[in-house]
């Protein structure tokens, strides 16, 4: 395998993880972590200039380019946020240097695993990469070593393992369906081989395989009723990991699901994967929308918001067609940027207030105007109000659905409106009114927060033609 930009996407985080694991001191490793994430992001941008050659193990096409650039960008900005956030956690004694020795190394291992999953041309290798990402985030969720954090990490490990086991069984069934056509061995697991011969695969095996893959990777996407690990992991783990989970890891599992949806679409005798995805997406959206009204922890609140939005995204891809797929890609991008920005704000708010309980977070726009109004902007964006980016994507999803299935469009619109009410109800408690609870100084890096919100605001008004063209091309590929 020649060394090119595609290989560099894996080598940079892998080497960085090894170096960071042996270096002492938080400040040095925090800076190196940011540099490594920046190099990976710049490498991902080079993929639009130089086209690396795909092989049996690594693949580059129009679909994974979008995911790679989005993942590496959010990983870079999160590493910047993490440097100030974790540094303050050490200062107040919530984290000790012993627990943090491998924090940045694990962060780069997570980046390696996600990049590997996105670039893998082998469905078995993709499964291994997603499992590696799961195990890494389990360790990072439990880093506080409190009873609640360890319980959340354990729940994440158990439910994530069940999901990934179901995905493994689905992957094996795909291999069994491909074997008689392609032949046994490595070739029957190579994605580019699978799509060439998918029409000849055994349809019943493909049908069963997709059900297992939907349930397995759907667990990692956070779809209801497979979502139970996600709120606990968000609430008890470090906020940078919450940003990575909502902004990146859910997308990686979604990417795997889309790959297999494309495979089934090439087999005329197989079931249509769309209705299954539409059903699970709609259930997730409606369930999470109602659950927003019962949250008392601000990080759990936005965890359920992630479940709602992943439901909308899966619903859009399930509906299919150029417009719905375009809307799904746009919504995924806007959600990743917006939700990670919200967690940046929430992380620093929890630090200055010393709590995540919504009841103790009143009057933020008075006590901490920058953080308070940043949270207001983030919630306005994630709720889908105009003229921000998520409004555009939600409008496209609902309008494209209404033209084909009006009843589903009404149900989806109802879920979006219910979620908007729940978010604004909690926002009014947190951001406005008389200040409540303890108050401390803000030690925050606002650059990642403002960068994300700025992009989302601009996207609601203007999308570059090159971006629109790229999304349209991928939307056609998804069918």
With 50 as the cut, is the pLDDT of residue 1 above it? Answer: no
How many Å apart are CA 276 and CA 311, to the nearest integer? Answer: 12
Which pTM value belongs to this model? 0.93
Q: How confident is the model at residue 355 (pLDDT cuts 50, 70, 90)?
A: confident
Q: What pLDDT is recorded for position 41?
A: 95
Is 408 within a domain? yes
Q: What pLDDT is recorded for position 75?
A: 93
Token pair for 257: 């699901």
Is 148 within a domain? no
Decide if 150 contacts 189 (C-beta within 8 A). no
- Helix-strand-coil split of the chain, %, nearest 5: 80, 0, 20
What residues form DSSP beta bridges with 14?
none
Is 376 within a domain? yes
Residues 4-15, mean pLDDT to the nearest whole number? 91
Q: 182-203 pLDDT, tens per residue?
A: 888 788 888 888 988 888 888 8
Nearest CA to 303 out of 261, 346, 256 is that of 346
- Give alpha helix (H) positions in 142-221: 147-182, 191-197, 203-221
Q: What is the DSSP letter of 76?
A: H
- Residue 189: half-sphere exposure toward Cβ, Cα within 13 Å: 18
Nearest CA to 174 out of 264, 240, 60 is that of 264
Q: What pLDDT is recorded for position 246?
A: 83
Is 354 within a domain? yes
Burial of 98 (0-12, 13-18, 19+ CB in 10 A): exposed
Q: What pLDDT is recorded for position 443?
A: 67
Residues 30-47, mean pLDDT to the nearest whole number? 92
Which helix (H) or strand (E) segment holds residue 246: the answer is none
Which among 37-41, 446-450, 459-463 has the top mean pLDDT?
37-41
| % residues pLDDT > 90 (the chain) | 44
Is 383 within a domain? yes
Q: 395-415 pLDDT, tens per residue?
A: 999 999 998 999 999 999 999
Q: What pLDDT is recorded for position 54?
A: 75
Q: What pLDDT is recorded for position 444?
A: 66
From residue 447, how far is each of 8, 40, 79, 161, 247 by CA, in Å? 27, 19, 12, 36, 17
How many Å apart are CA 258 and CA 252, to the nearest integer? Answer: 10
Residue, of 89 and 67, whose pLDDT is higher: 67
With 60 as the cut, is the pLDDT of residue 164 above it? Answer: yes
Is 119 within a domain? no
Is 251 within a domain? no
Q: How confident is the model at residue 429 (pLDDT cuts 50, 70, 90)?
A: confident
Residues 104-116, mean pLDDT to the nearest whole number? 93
Q: How confident is the model at residue 256 (pLDDT cuts 50, 70, 90)?
A: very high
Which among 94-108, 113-127, 343-357 has the top mean pLDDT?
113-127
Q: What pLDDT is recorded for position 271?
A: 86
Residues 58-82, mean pLDDT to the nearest whole number? 91
Domain housing 287:
272-479
Residues 106-129, mean pLDDT to the nearest whole number? 93
With 90 as the cut, is the pLDDT of residue 112 above it? Answer: yes
Which among 108-122, 218-232, 354-368 has the top mean pLDDT?
108-122
Is 374 within a domain? yes
Q: What pLDDT is recorded for position 3?
A: 59
| Range with lowest mean pLDDT among 201-205, 313-317, 378-382 | 201-205
Q: What pLDDT is recorded for position 338?
A: 93
Residue 382: Cβ within 10 Å count = 25
Q: How confident is the model at residue 119 (pLDDT cuts 50, 70, 90)?
A: very high
Q: How many domains does the chain have?
A: 1
Residue, of 370 and 129, whose pLDDT is higher: 129
Rounded to the nearest integer, the mean pLDDT of the chain is 88
With 80 as the cut, is the pLDDT of residue 97 above it? Answer: no
| % residues pLDDT > 70 (the chain) | 97
């Amino acid at each position: 395998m020649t060394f090119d930009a595609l290989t560099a996407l894996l080598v940079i985080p892998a080497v960085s993880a090894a170096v960071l694991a042996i270096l002492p001191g938080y400040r040095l490793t925090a800076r190196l972590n940011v540099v490594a994430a920046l190099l990976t992001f710049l490498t991902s941008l080079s993929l639009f200039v130089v086209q690396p050659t795909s092989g049996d193990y690594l693949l580059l096409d129009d679909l994974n380019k979008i995911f790679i650039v989005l993942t590496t960008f959010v990983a870079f900005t999160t590493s910047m946020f993490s440097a100030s956030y974790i540094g303050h956690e050490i200062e107040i004694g919530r984290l000790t240097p012993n627990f943090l020795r491998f924090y940045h190394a694990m962060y780069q291992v997570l980046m390696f695993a996600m990049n590997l999953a996105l670039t893998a041309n082998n469905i078995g290798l993709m499964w291994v990469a997603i499992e590696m990402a799961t195990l890494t985030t389990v360790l990072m969720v439990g880093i506080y070593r409190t009873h609640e954090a360890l319980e959340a990490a354990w729940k994440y490990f158990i439910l994530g393992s069940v999901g990934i086991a179901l995905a493994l069984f689905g992957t094996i069934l795909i291999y069994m369906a491909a074997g008689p056509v392609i032949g046994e061995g490595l070739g029957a697991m190579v994605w580019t081989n699978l799509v060439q011969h998918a029409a000849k695969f055994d349809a019943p095996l493909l049908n069963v395989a997709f059900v297992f893959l939907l349930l397995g990777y759907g667990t990692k996407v956070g779809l209801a009723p497979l979502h139970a690990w996600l709120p606990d992991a968000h609430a008890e783990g470090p906020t940078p990991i919450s940003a990575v989970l909502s902004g990146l890891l859910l997308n990686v599992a979604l990417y795997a699901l889309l790959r297999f949806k494309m495979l089934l679409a090439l087999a005329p005798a197989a079931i249509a994967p769309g209705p299954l995805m539409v059903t699970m997406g709609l259930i997730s959206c409606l369930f999470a929308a109602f659950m927003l009204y019962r949250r008392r922890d601000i990080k759990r609140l936005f965890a359920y918001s992630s479940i709602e939005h992943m439901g909308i995204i899966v619903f859009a891809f399930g509906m299919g067609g150029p417009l719905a797929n375009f809307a799904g890609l746009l919504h995924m991008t806007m959600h990743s940027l917006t939700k990670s920005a919200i967690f940046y704000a929430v992380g620093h708010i929890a630090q200055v207030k010393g709590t995540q309980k919504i009841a103790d977070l009143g009057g933020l726009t008075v006590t901490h105007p920058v953080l308070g109004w940043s949270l207001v902007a983030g919630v306005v964006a994630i709720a889908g109000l105009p003229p921000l980016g998520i409004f555009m994507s939600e409008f496209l999803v609902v309008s494209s659905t209404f033209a084909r299935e009006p009843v589903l469009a009404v149900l989806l619109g109802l879920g979006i409106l219910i979620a908007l009410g729940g978010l604004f109800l909690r926002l009014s408690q947190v951001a406005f009114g008389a200040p409540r609870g303890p108050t401390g100084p803000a030690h925050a890096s606002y650059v990642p927060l403002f960068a994300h919100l700025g992009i989302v605001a601009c996207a609601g008004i203007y999308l570059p033609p090159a971006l629109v063209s790229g999304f349209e091309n991928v939307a056609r590929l998804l069918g």
